[in-house]
């Protein structure tokens, strides 16, 4: 069912694009019409949504890959947060813990933003 939902989602869209038979029961209720931040697909032509700790799940936000029928990977989420492509979130002896890695990525201030803010503070303090 989730694969059908992913395939029915257009870039930049969400569950509102789906035929009725694919919609979750909660979305069929009057109150459910306001859930706009779930089952979304990203678009190449739009800014990324805010990366959260649940960014690796299609139903947890607007984290559908723009072209491929899947959610974005943790590496793709990290790149959107401006982590270097080769950044290691755990040492080679540790086993991969998806939830912990997602928390590190989703709770992070984008690296480049932190760098710019830090430079600005240093510049201000030196004046």
Q: What is the CATH number of the domain that holds 28?
A: 3.90.120
| Residue 93: φ, ψ to 5° | -85, -15
pLDDT score of 96? 77
CA distance 32 to 23: 10
Res. 83 pLDDT band, cuts 50 70 90: very high
Q: Model pTM? A: 0.85
pLDDT score of 101? 93
Contact 54, 61 (CB under 8 A): yes
Query: Which structural domain range is residue 27 located in?
Result: 2-126
Number of structural domains found in the chain: 1
| Residue 41: φ, ψ to 5° | -115, 135
Residues 47-55 have a mean pLDDT of 94
- The pLDDT tens digits of the residues spanning 84-127 come to 999 998 877 777 789 999 999 999 999 999 999 999 999 999 98
- Reference 77, options 48, 40, 120; nearest CA is 48
């Amino acid at each position: 069912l989730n694969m059908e939902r992913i395939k029915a989602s257009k870039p930049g869209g969400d569950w509102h694009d789906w035929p009725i038979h694919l919609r979750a029961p909660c979305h069929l209720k009057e109150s459910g019409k306001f859930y706009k931040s779930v089952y979304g697909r990203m678009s190449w032509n739009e800014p990324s949504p805010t990366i959260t700790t649940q960014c690796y799940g299609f139903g947890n936000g607007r984290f559908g890959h723009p072209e491929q029928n899947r959610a974005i990977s943790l590496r793709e989420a990290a790149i959107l947060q401006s982590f270097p492509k080769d950044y290691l979130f755990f040492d080679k002896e540790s086993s991969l813990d998806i939830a912990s890695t997602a928390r590190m990525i989703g709770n992070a201030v984008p690296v480049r933003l932190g760098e710019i803010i830090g430079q600005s503070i240093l510049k201000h303090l030196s004046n």
